[in-house]
């Protein structure tokens, strides 16, 4: 009797796993970068130079014109477009915290991860102020597929 129950349990779990046709997705990485007055986040293709330039921009806020978020994501069993959303919380000087939401409909190619970038520049960046927290979410309609957040979110 025990063996029969165990066999039914195992076969039932395989049947359930096989019918899972829902979208599975993952936000692999989120890279926030400051943008300088010329619209660049680095001066050369070197990752070392990019990190050094980002440190310099962090120390010189007057040389920044915005912030950009590069999101590396992937999805399987994709039937429809997904929505990638970036929510930012910032503090403008002398004012209450501000929030900004950026979103885009995205479509993955079969089996490959994709990069999508979002930028906040100009007056929007000034109104938002220094970004203190962020959250990136991947949505399939009203269903949350995955999310990644900053430490302070």
Per-residue pLDDT of 56-92, as tens digits, reads: 999 999 999 999 999 999 987 666 789 999 999 998 7
State the pTM of this model: 0.79
Q: What angle do CA 22, 30, 60 make, to 5 degrees?
A: 160
Domain ranges of the chain: 21-149
The answer regarding whether domain 21-149 maps to CATH 2.70.50 reads yes
Per-residue confidence band for 8, with pLDDT thresholds at 50, 70 and 90: low
Strands (E), the chain: 24-36, 64-76, 82-91, 97-106, 114-121, 130-140, 143-149
**DSSP helix/strand/coil, 19:** coil
DSSP, res 96: -
Whole-number Å distance between alpha carbons of 13 and 104: 36
């Amino acid at each position: 009797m025990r063996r029969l129950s165990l066999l039914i349990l195992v076969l039932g779990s395989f049947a359930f796993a096989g019918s899972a046709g829902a979208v599975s997705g993952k936000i692999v990485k989120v890279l926030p970068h400051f943008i300088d007055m010329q619209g660049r986040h680095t001066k050369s293709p070197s990752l070392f130079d990019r990190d050094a330039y980002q440190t310099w921009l962090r120390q010189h806020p007057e040389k920044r014109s915005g912030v950009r978020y590069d999101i590396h994501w992937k999805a399987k069993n994709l039937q429809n477009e997904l929505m990638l959303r970036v929510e930012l919380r910032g503090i403008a000087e002398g004012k209450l915290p501000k929030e900004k939401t950026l979103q885009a409909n995205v479509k993955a190619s079969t089996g490959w991860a994709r990069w999508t970038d979002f930028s906040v520049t100009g007056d929007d960046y000034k109104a938002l102020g220094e970004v203190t927290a962020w959250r990136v979410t991947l949505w399939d309609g009203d269903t949350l597929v995955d999310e990644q957040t900053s430490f302070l979110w």
